[in-house]
Structure 1
Amino acid sequence: MSCEGGAEVAVRTRITSAWRKWRELASLLVNQGIPLVHRARIYCACIRPVLLYAAETWALAANLERFLCCDHRMLRYMARVKWRDRLSDEKVRRCGTESIEDRIRRMRLRWSGHVRRREQDNNLRRAMELEVEVRRPVGRPRRTWKQVVMEDMRSLNTREEDTEDRDR
């Protein structure tokens, strides 16, 4: 997180690191002699963790979500699908990879549950529940991490009480 409270610097750094790792493994990932499913497993094991490191703490705004299209771009390179072929990202993900948005949502909810299951006097839990009263700048306020988690929970039709059950 930057001193302004956003995740833009972290997202850009992760994307740069992921492309660096992609270039290291590109000869393997675009090799047509290896089945696409196996290349996708290598991608999910070696490149996605670099891209999504600490993503559970990001409160992504719409403009930052667009930066993560690099994941789709890498998958298109692997599958040898051009933009002009006009295939949707769902068809490109036919190799069995999960969408980047769904993966970040799962990571965020898992981290939220982890923090909520801690003791009441734990510093991490207290920091999550902390409300800071500051004078906000003019304009729409930024989405907080807590708001993003609540939106994720709403989209999956879950409640805060469900966090007590780790498996759920």
Structure 2
Amino acid sequence: MVRPAMLCGLETAVLTNGQEKKLEVAEMKMRYEVGVARKDKVRDENIRERLGIEKKLTDKIKESRLRWFGHVDRRDESYVGKRVMKMTAGKRKRGRPKRRWSDCNKEDLVSVGAVARDAAERISWRRIVRTDNSVVTGDSQ
């Protein structure tokens, strides 16, 4: 019940590594679901195993981000989200560039071994993007 609430709206969020770690820590602080206290010193992997969760929260965030990317990519050219995805807003400032949604998508695509044009085929895209413990029901969106 906690995990879906934490994942709500993170499809378009650009999270730093530190923010992703904080989300994982917050998830693991929900140990009371299993009846484990911090003083018991039970490893996170064992808690995930007891709860039946195979993937980390960051993997689920990556999955939802890629799923949303595929959804937007399959829309027609007049869709405002697709037009915004293709925009370039001038030069970036000096120094380390801020992380953008498109940067996250590029990293996520590399990590799953896919390219952006794979998103055109919905069924195969779902297989590429989906993690092990996702629940897929039918073909409805």
- Fold-level similarity (TM above 0.5): yes
Report what 1:149 is aligned to. Answer: 105
Equivalents in 1 of 2:99, 2:41: separation in Å? 33
Q: Does 1:73 align with 2:47?
A: no
Larger Rg computed on CA atoms: 1
Report what 2:64 is aligned to. Answer: 107
Letter in 1 for 2:6: L
Report what 2:46 is aligned to. Answer: 91
Q: Which runs of 5+ in 1 are unaligned?
A: 1-42
Judging changes above 3 Å, is the alpha-carbon distance between structure 1 residues 81 and 139 closer, same or farther for their aligned structure 2 residues? farther
Equivalents in 2 of 1:134, 1:89: separation in Å? 42
Report 1:1-168 matches (<5 A). Answer: 43=1, 47-68=2-23, 69-74=25-30, 76-94=31-49, 95-97=51-53, 98-134=55-91, 136=93, 138-168=94-124
Equivalents in 2 of 1:149, 1:90: separation in Å? 27
Letter in 2 for 1:96: G
Helix, strand or coil at the partner of 2:29 = helix
Helix, strand or coil at the partner of 1:55 = coil
Cα displacement (A) at 1:156: 0.9
TM-score normalised according to structure 2 size = 0.76
TM-score normalised according to structure 1 size = 0.65
Tell me how many residue pairs correspond in the alignment: 121
Structure 1 outlier segments of 4+, above 6 Å: none
Letter in 1 for 2:73: R
Relative contact order, CA 8 A, sep 6+: which one is greater?
Answer: 2
Equivalents in 2 of 1:161, 1:135: separation in Å? 26
Q: Which runs of 5+ in 2 are unaligned?
A: 125-141
If each structure's helix is expressed as a fraction of its own residues, which one has the higher value? 1
Equivalents in 1 of 2:41, 2:86: separation in Å? 45
